[in-house]
Structure 1
Amino acid sequence: MEITTTLSSNPASDERLAEILAEPGFGNYFTDHMLVAEWTPEKSWHDARIEPYGPLRLDPATAVLHYAQEIFEGMKAYRHEDGSVWAFRPEANAVRMAKSAQRLAMPSLDVEDFVQSVFELVKVDQRWVPEASEGSEKSLYLRPFMFASEPFLGVRSAHHITYMVIASPAGAYFKGGVKPVRIWLSEHYTRAGRGGMGAAKTGGNYAASLVAQDEASAHGCDQVVFLDASEGKYVEELGGMNLYFVYADGRIVTPETGTILEGITRASVIELAGKLGYQVEERKFAIDEWRAGVASGEITEVFACGTAAVVTPVGELVWEGGSLPSVPSGNVGATIRKQLVDIQFGRADDTFGWMRRIV
């Protein structure tokens, strides 16, 4: 991919950047530049450029505003102690984005072009990657996305697609240490069904979760868990994380994919768990099995994972008229979390070959 670069004439000052990186939060601040590329049937991908970060101008008839034809990815860049900057399994994000594109009737980027586009933006804005420090989990969050940018109201796949990459410094997900999340069981809303878009990373999936997430918040919960749309009894995923159930006999069960997103952190946790000697089962997992396993003591730990939180213990499960008490936090999730974070930040050997150096 040929990428031109136009540098910002008004980048953040060193003083302002230091203030931002001290307390970045999540998704609050954005780097000085963004990457943009266009696609049409006639020219395929073209006009790739890095330019100053700024607002978009869209026609009111732009297709994405009416038919939600869009997809995105989420990944991070990590600063290591020697000052170098690395990405975690970027090829996996590229492959998943191509799958999402296929489901949303959009053109896909080659894996090499996807990785290049992300890396080139990070190189230009590398001063925005937080410094490495012991115990810190600050990183640069990267958001590649594409959307139907053709101004057209007919119901068909768009003939003009815009692909972009933006970046935002991110602080640790948990301030003051990792804490169990309290989960609300959604019994009225589902997120995706067989043949739907559950396995695609598209905004519609997240929009479908928001009303249930608001319901969870109203009941004092941090996250919502969804059941399957067909029978309403199988656990699928949280609003933004995948689930794992640790059994006393050494098994770890996680809901199978198909109607849920194939998380890259999820896949990494499965590999790490296997290396630690656990037998991981990917299968249907009923909500009644969760309840019975906790009641009997057969389930000894429940944890979840995602790009932002990495791995977090799951606490109380709450539903209309009842609740399931927290399982005493075990150390399986914590052990996996530490190993994964240490690999990402260069504090442990990457025996899996997951990390890719950017600068």
Structure 2
Amino acid sequence: MTNNFSVLDLFLVLGISQGIFLAVVLFFIPNTNKSANKVLSLLLVIAAVMLFGRIALYRYQVEWVYRLALFVDAILYLIGPIMYMYQRKLLFSEKTSATLPLYHFIPATIHIAYTTYMLKYSIDEYFELYQNGALQLTFFIVEFSGLLSLLLYTIACFKLNQKYIRVKNELISYESKIIKFSRFITGSFAALLVLWAISFTISQVAFHLPYFNYQIIWIGISIFIYTIGFYSLKQPEVFQVPFESKAKTSARLSQEKITILTKRLEFYINEERVFLQPDLTLKDLASAIDTTPNDLSWLLNNVFHKTFYEYVNEFRLAEFLKKIESNEHHKKTLLALAFDVGFNSKSTFNKVFKSYLGQTPSSYIKRQYAV
């Protein structure tokens, strides 16, 4: 039996077609991280299947729809690994095969095997089991294990973000918008899963929420993935600059070029004192010494053995200590002095200070200048 065509059906058809459209278009955006976009396209196709399968099973009770839709829950175990793979390629521009080790797909394989076994029941027999509560434990295991899987992979994505922040100064020579986008993805997905976890917990101990349940969450995840796709299409520049490995540029500059750039760099740092500019970027400094950001990054990494931020912040820290020696901290706050020497945030200043001196600024002053 099928229900009459409704506005919801129209929404689903449009959603499915948009997912397929985005998945195809992402392949043709020039100068982007194609490795990440291929995985995103896969996510979009999965979202389209989710929109169809999660609703079709309950709205169109015909045999072939039933046979197909029973397998859709396997997607529950695929979203996490594929989302993790997408973030890994997005952040680190991995050129490896778009696959993960097979153990990531064991839960989905088990579910498919179980679903295949359940096909021995006709649609009438299946709904009789459902109405009698015989499938209640199965539904609980599927939803709980799927939710747990997504939460674990979301945590793994948070760790990827932290890893990116740790290594970006060593591997890239520009301020990247990618980390903001990745944090948005991870944070938003985590918030969706927390709401799902709350709903799941309440449904087990009290009652089922009428407008926030397993089916609505599936639609929410699909819409969320679509949002990522639209963002990728609207702002492709976020994905255009990959990491540049230092190993590939070990002989990038000649000794003569190194000498010339070093002299220019020392002039602009020591004489022009450009490090006092809080918004100074690698690109700005490279332009000042008449070179490219990649060449300057190579010079700093291989000759000075520092990243751009380490190099600049050392001069800022030295200037801050000079101000302390001159007792300027009696006239201004420590944060004001930090801003005067080029730091643009309290957290960055405290982190740099502690990494070099092993203590907080206030503790350092008390120990060094105690009366």
Normalised by the shorter chain, which TM-score bucket? under 0.3
Bigger-Rg structure (1/2)? 2
Q: Compute the TM-score of the two structures, normalised by the length of structure 2.
A: 0.20
- Higher share in helix: 2
